[in-house]
Amino acid sequence: MLSRRSHPGEAGLRLIHQASSEATATAAAAAPRVGAEGGGAQGSGGGGEVGCASDVMAAADTSQLSRGSVAAETRVMREAKTSGSTSHAGSSALKPTVALTTFASSTADVARSAPVVIVQDTLEMLREFERAGFDSKQAESIVRIVLATVKSSTLPLCSRADLDKHVLLQQADLRQFQHDLTSKQREGALASKHMTDMVNSDFEKMRVELRYTHDKVTNSQRLDMSLERGRIRDDLLAQNAMMGQIEKRLDREMQTMQATHSNEMQIMKMTIEAAKNTSSNEIQNMRTTIEVAKSDTLKYGIGAVLSAVGLGLGVARFLG
């Protein structure tokens, strides 16, 4: 079972997070300057060599960091002496010191071995943890863990020898790739030239064959056209002779038909005259017959009317 004091609570966790963030931010602020120095040295040296100007700048930065570290250590020790009487009784296990974390970033380690110093006030960090609710042992353990974490997080990624080896391997691979690419390009050019020559040869053969076929077809068509022209000429002559015979026959038939037609016309005229005479006689006979029938009809009608009148008078007399 843990006591009430052993539970840090939200304030303690927030303080741990703040301390870790401050340590990480301090390391990140120091790393770019060293990385820029290493990058400038690598660019000016060409292949990992460091120039004189970058060495002078690195020495100046190292001296400034050393002076800053000494000043910070003096200030922290002065504050620790003045506040030593008011510190917690359990804080005697961790002496008021200043943690100087020395590290080199990956870029700085590649360019040069100049360390970067980060000042950590462990006494102030211990007091903050104790004010947050931790006891002295817990606060001391947390401070040690934070310092170990900061130190491990600022270790270099690789050494100069490993990076040089990696660069040499990459350069060898690049040269091999360039050699393979050149060989492939040369082989491709030769293959393309060979293929082009083959295509040109095949094209020339096809052109010769096409010319021969064209001449052959042209001569065959000319011969066929000559034969067809002669056959058409013979057909036209035969048709002209046949047309002359047909015209002569038609002329004879037309003359015969005209003579026959004239005779038939004379016969038809005589027949029409006889028919006219016969029809006029028949018309006269029909007129006579109509007149006789008309007189008979009037006679019979008048007799019928008179008979009806007499019958009517007789009936009227009989009834009267």
The answer to whether the predicted template modeling score (pTM) of the entire model surpasses 0.75 is no
d(CA 211, CA 203): 12
Residue 96 lies in a domain: yes
Residue 190 lies in a domain: no
Residue 211 lies in a domain: no
Residue 227 lies in a domain: no
* 65 Rama sector, left if φ>0, alpha if ψ -120 to 50, beta otherwise: alpha
Q: Could you list the pLDDT tens digit for every one of the 320 residues in the chain?
A: 333 333 444 444 455 555 555 555 554 554 444 344 444 333 333 333 333 333 434 444 444 444 444 444 455 445 444 444 333 433 344 444 444 444 433 443 434 444 455 666 788 888 888 888 888 888 888 888 888 888 777 777 777 888 889 899 999 999 999 999 999 999 999 999 999 999 999 999 999 999 999 999 999 999 999 999 999 999 999 999 999 899 999 998 888 888 888 888 888 888 888 888 888 888 888 888 888 888 888 888 888 888 888 888 888 888 86
Q: Which helix (H) or strand (E) holds 44?
A: helix 9-45
Predicted pLDDT of residue 320: 66
Q: Which helix (H) or strand (E) holds 122?
A: helix 122-131
Residue 254 lies in a domain: no
* 7 Rama sector, left if φ>0, alpha if ψ -120 to 50, beta otherwise: beta
d(CA 136, CA 131): 10
| Ramachandran angles phi, psi of 98, nearest 5° | -115, 120
Residue 209 lies in a domain: no
| Ramachandran angles phi, psi of 157, nearest 5° | -75, -40
Widest distance between CA atoms in the chain: 189
Predicted pLDDT of residue 7: 41
Predicted pLDDT of residue 24: 53
Residue 172 lies in a domain: no
* 158 Rama sector, left if φ>0, alpha if ψ -120 to 50, beta otherwise: beta
Number of domain units in the chain: 1
Q: Which domain holds residue 88?
A: 4-157
